Amino acid sequence: MRPRPIRCDIFCTVIDNFGDVGVCWRLAQQLATEFAWQVRLLIDDASALEWLATPSQHAAVRISDFHGAEYENAEVVIEAFACEIPPAFQAAMAARKVPLVWLNLEYLSAENWVATSHGLASKHPHLPLTKYFFFPGFDAASGGLIRERDYDTRRLDFDATAFRQRHGLPVARQKETVISLFSYPNAPRDALYAAWAASATPILAVLPGNTDAPWQRDNLRVLPLPFLSQHEYDELLWLCDLNFVRGEDSFVRAQWAERAMVWQIYPQENDTHLVKLKSFLTRYLPVGAGDTLYALFMQAWNTQGTPDWPAFASQLPQLNTHAKHWADALRQHPDLATNLVDFCLTRLKID
Ligand code: TRH
């Protein structure tokens, strides 16, 4: 008799922006299509899925409202980003006769403490339940990064010309640098636009998720695009010579894209995000390169400074080579969904 598929509930609340839903949707898709798990996404605001998901993806994952959903005996329950599963649901989990695995999927961080926190167990204060902390990360001591099995195939099949036509990108000018720009409103974009306009070679900036009209100033053309599906957003990252990304998920996708990238980290109180930014740069850059033009540019981008575009642009070829080596090194570790499945099956005592 074939074993019954693992049932998995993923709880997600959308705090702001799209990272929470973006990560949960990717994970849900992977567990369903690559591991044949029966996945339900319990979410308080599914509106972003209208543009983020492709129509065919909807068949793979069931979507329920976060509040009031009944426990259906799932073997694995994932609470994304400490979103607090409703108490009645927790009580129903505790009443299950056979043990289940309850995970809290945490935010991505490059900080060293992740290695000692990943996989830690925490007993529920009064119910017979244990919750495990599952940390994404950049090395083997963490839960890894989301990366789909078909990522390389999709990339090989990517047709840049068709993408340009589909999204109305203008005919490329000679020596044009194509840049995607996805940032928070407080990024010093005007300073960058001024530098791009004054650039010696032409620049096309593509702004996904932006409803402004296209505009042009000197050597800069700016093309806003509607939000793309996650699949098409990957394609945009592959198309571009440089990608500005933010938060968590687009940041990871830009790394898989093997292109130079500039990251705007999600801002936190007391500037704790700047510590996290530094931890990432320490990992990402070769030893002793903490004060390179690249690090300075990224710091300026994250602190409303004035990013030195000409200096940065002169490093672009080396940065692209580095991005490839970085992705090669990351690929040596299993991806997050594979790690998560192993973790759960071990605890469920299933081979
Ligand atoms: O939207 P974000 O700023 O999300 C943030 C962060 O995740 C942050 O850590 C979290 O605390 C906060 O949300 C609540 O950036 P992020 O993480 O890149 O998420 C954007 C998602 O949208 C990602 O899945 C990529 C996707 N996307 C598209 O699919 N198409 C697009 O056109 C664009 C611009 C993004």
| Token reading at 88 | 């009645």
Name the residue at shortest CA distance from atom 6 of ligand 1: 247
Pocket of ligand 1 (CB under 6 A): 15-20, 22, 52, 107, 182, 208-209, 227-230, 233, 246-251, 266
d(CA 26, CA 22): 6
105, 212: one domain: no
Does 47 have pLDDT greater than 70? yes
Q: Residue 1 domain-assigned?
A: no
For ligand 1, pick from 250, 253, 269 the residue to mutate: most ligand atoms within 8 Å of CB: 250
106, 24: one domain: yes
Does 208 have pLDDT greater than 90? yes
Q: For residues 226 and 209, is the Cβ–Cβ distance under 8 A?
A: yes
| Start-end of H helices in 103-188 | 114-117, 151-157, 160-166
Catalytic residue among 106, 234, 248, 335: 248
Q: Which atom of ligand 1 is nearest to the CA of 236?
A: 32
Q: Residue 350 domain-assigned?
A: no
Output the DSSP codes for 22-35: HHHHHHHHHHHHHH
pTM of this structure = 0.97
Tens digit of each residue's pLDDT (9 = 90 or more) over 6-29: 999 999 999 899 999 999 999 999
Name the residue at shortest CA distance from atom 14 of ligand 1: 16
Q: Residue 112 domain-assigned?
A: yes
Query: What was the pLDDT predicted at 48?
Result: 97
Which residue range forms the structural domain that includes residue 271?
Answer: 151-330
Stretch 138-158: mean pLDDT, rounded?
98
Query: What was the pLDDT predicted at 97?
Result: 86
283, 340: one domain: no
The percentage of the chain sitting over the pLDDT mark of 70, rounded to a whole number, equals 98
Q: Which atom of ligand 1 is nearest to the CA of 253?
A: 25
User: Sign of dihedral through CA atoms 2, 59, 28, 38?
Assistant: negative
38, 93: one domain: yes
Residue whose C-alpha is closest to residue 149's, from 256, 37, 245:
256
Measure 275 CA to ligand 1 centroid, in angstroms: 20
123, 191: one domain: no
Q: Residue 2 domain-assigned?
A: no
Confidence of residue 145 (pLDDT cuts 50, 70, 90): very high
Measure 264 CA to ligand 1 centroid, in angstroms: 11
Sequence-distant (≥ 6) Cβ neighbours of residue 129 within 8 angstroms:
90, 93, 94, 102, 123
Does 198 have pLDDT greater than 90? yes
70, 132: one domain: yes
69, 138: one domain: yes
* CA distances, 154 to each of 147, 179, 235, 238 (Å): 12, 21, 9, 11
Q: Residue 351 domain-assigned?
A: no
159, 124: one domain: no
52, 82: one domain: yes
Pairing of strands 242-246, 260-264: parallel
136, 38: one domain: yes
Q: Residue 272 domain-assigned?
A: yes
Give Cα 98 distance to the centre of its chain.
Answer: 34
Q: If you search the block for the tokens 């700016």, which residue do you land on?
A: 222
- The domain that holds 185 is classified in CATH as 3.40.50.2000
For ligand 1, pick from 249, 269, 336 the residue to mutate: most ligand atoms within 8 Å of CB: 249
Give Cα 108 distance to the centre of its chain.
Answer: 9
20 is catalytic: yes
Pairing of strands 177-181, 203-208: parallel
Measure 6 CA to ligand 1 centroid, in angstroms: 28
65, 207: one domain: no
Query: What was the pLDDT predicted at 351?
Result: 66
Stretch 312-330: mean pLDDT, rounded?
95
Confidence of residue 2 (pLDDT cuts 50, 70, 90): low
141, 173: one domain: no
Name the residue at shortest CA distance from atom 5 of ligand 1: 19
Q: For residues 255 and 274, is the Cβ–Cβ distance under 8 A?
A: no
Number of domains in the chain: 2
For ligand 1, pick from 12, 223, 248 the residue to mutate: most ligand atoms within 8 Å of CB: 248
Q: Which atom of ligand 1 is nearest to the CA of 21?
A: 24
Name the residue at shortest CA distance from atom 27 of ligand 1: 230
Pairing of strands 76-80, 38-43: unpaired
Residue whose C-alpha is closest to residue 258's, from 111, 158, 338:
158
248 is catalytic: yes
d(CA 250, CA 259): 13
Q: Which atom of ligand 1 is nearest to the CA of 230?
A: 29
- The domain that holds 82 is classified in CATH as 3.40.50
Does 291 have pLDDT greater than 70? no
